[in-house]
Amino acid sequence: MSAPGRRPRMLVVGGTGGLVGRHVRAEFSRDWTIRSLHRHPVPEEASGGIEWIYGDAGTVRDWAPLLDKVDLVLNLAWYRTGPDRRFAPLAEGLVRLIRTSEAVGVRRFVHVSVPDAPERLETGLPYLTRKREVDRALEASRLSYVIVRPTLLFAPRDVLLTVMMRTMARYHRFPMFGDGEYHVSPIAASDVARILRREAETPGRRNVTAGGPERWRYRDLTDRIFRALGRPPKYFRLSHRSSVRLARLLEVFGSSLLYVYEVEWLLSDMLGIPPYEGLATPLAPVTPFLESEARRRRPPPG
Ligand SMILES: NC(=O)c1ccc[n+]([C@@H]2O[C@H](COP(=O)([O-])OP(=O)(O)OC[C@H]3O[C@@H](n4cnc5c(N)ncnc54)[C@H](OP(=O)(O)O)[C@@H]3O)[C@@H](O)[C@H]2O)c1
C-alpha cells in the first residue's frame, strides 16, 4: 500500500488513546508509522514513537498538510453523547477530511461507525444523524473506503460490560430493562482492531457490520456476569418506560453510566448482529474476559 522501501503511514483521527484506538495502536504500530490527531495527551503514544498532532477534528480547516505521505486514514473520532452543537462541527470537519483525502489521493479510508438503530433515533438524535452524514459523504466520495460498524465492544476499561460488572459487584443487584429477551453480540476491541487491519488491506468500497462470535439473550449475559462474580443474579425489574425514565434521571444528574438512547437501542433488539467473518483466527468470546475481570475484583486470598 506504500512506496517500496518505506513503512506505510496512517493518520488516526481520534488517536490511539480511546477504547478502539488503544487496540489499533497494538495492532498497527509494529509495522506502520502512525500519525495521531486528537486533543488529550496519551503517554503511550510518546513512548511508542507515535507522532501526536494536537487538534480537534471539528476545527481543522485544511487537512492537506496532515495527509502528506499518508497511505491510510482511519477515523475513530466521535462522542458518546451531547447536543447537536457538539456533533455538527465534528461531522463538518470529518466531511472536510473526506473531501481532502479524495483531492490528495489517499489510497484507503477506513471509518468506524455504528450499526443500524431504531428509526426514531436515526432521524432525531444528533449522535446518529450527524454520524450518518459522515457515512454518506464517504459513500458518495470516489475514495477506496470501508465503513466498519461494530456492535458493543468489550475490553478492560470499556464503558459497558465492565461498568455493568462494577455495579453488580458493588450493589449485588442490577436493573433489568424490560423482559431481557432482546439480544447482544459483544465483540472484543482487539478483534475490531484486527478487522480494521484486514479491511484496511482489502481493496473495495464496503460497508460492514461486525458482531462478536456469540449472540446472547441479554438476560443470560447479565446472569453470566453475576456468575463470574460468584453471586446469584438479582434484579430490580423495570418496564420499557421505567427503563427510559431511569436513564433520563441519570442523564439529568450528569451521570455517564447510561444514556436514554443506549437503553432504547438495547430494547429495540437490533444489537445482536451476526459475527464478522474473514479473520484468520476466531473472534474472542466474552466469557473469558468476564472471568478475568471478575478475578481482578476479588479480594486477595488471606
Ligand atoms: N465503544 C463502543 O462500544 C463502540 C461501538 C460501536 C462503534 N463505536 C465507534 O468506534 C469509534 C471509537 O469509539 P471508542 O469507544 O474507542 O471511543 P473513545 O474511547 O471515546 O475514543 C474516541 C477518541 O476520539 C477522540 N476524539 C473525540 N472527539 C474528537 C475530536 N473532536 N477531535 C479529535 N479527536 C477526538 C478522543 O480523544 P481526545 O479526547 O484525546 O481527543 C477519544 O480518545 C467511535 O466512532 C464510536 O462511535 C464504538
**pLDDT tens digit string along 190-246?**
999 999 999 999 999 999 999 999 999 999 999 999 999 999 999 999 999 999 999
Helix and strand numbers, DSSP H then E, in the chain:
11, 13
pLDDT surpassing 90 at residue 66: yes
37: its cell numbers? 490527531
N-term to C-term CA, the chain? 55
- CB 157 within 8 Å of CB 19: yes
Residue 39 Cβ inside 6 Å of ligand 1? The answer reads: yes
The whole-chain average pLDDT of the chain stands at 95
Domain range summary for the chain, segments of one domain joined by +: 9-143, 161-182+214-296
Decide: 56 in ligand 1 pocket, CB within 6 A: yes
- Is pTM, for the whole model, over 0.75? yes
**What is the pLDDT at residue 255?**
85
271: pLDDT strictly greater than 80: yes
Predicted pLDDT at 254: 85
Backbone φ and ψ for 210, nearest 5 degrees, come out as -140, 105
pLDDT at 5 over 90: no
Per-residue confidence (pLDDT) for residue 6, from 0 to 100: 82
Q: What is the pLDDT of residues 133-180, one digit of tens each?
A: 999 999 999 999 999 999 999 999 999 999 999 999 999 999 999 999
Beta strands 145-150; 183-184: pairing state: unpaired
Distance from the CA of 172 to the center of ligand 1, in angstroms?
A: 31
Closest CA to 233 of 175, 173, 192, 187: 173
Mean pLDDT: which of 5-9, 44-48, 231-235 is highest?
231-235
Q: Is the CB of 90 under 6 A from ligand 1?
A: yes
Which of 11, 13, 20, 53 has the most ligand 1 atoms within 8 A of CB, as the residue to mutate?
A: 20
State whether the beta carbon of 153 lies less than 6 angstroms from ligand 1.
Answer: yes
Task: Give the CATH architecture of domain 9-143.
Answer: 3-Layer(aba) Sandwich (3.40)
Query: Which phi and psi (to 5°) does residue 80 adopt?
Result: -80, -30
Asked if residue 18 has its Cβ within 6 Å of ligand 1, the reply is: yes
Residue among 190, 207, 189 nearest 199 (CA): 207
Atom of ligand 1 nearest to the CA of 152: 3
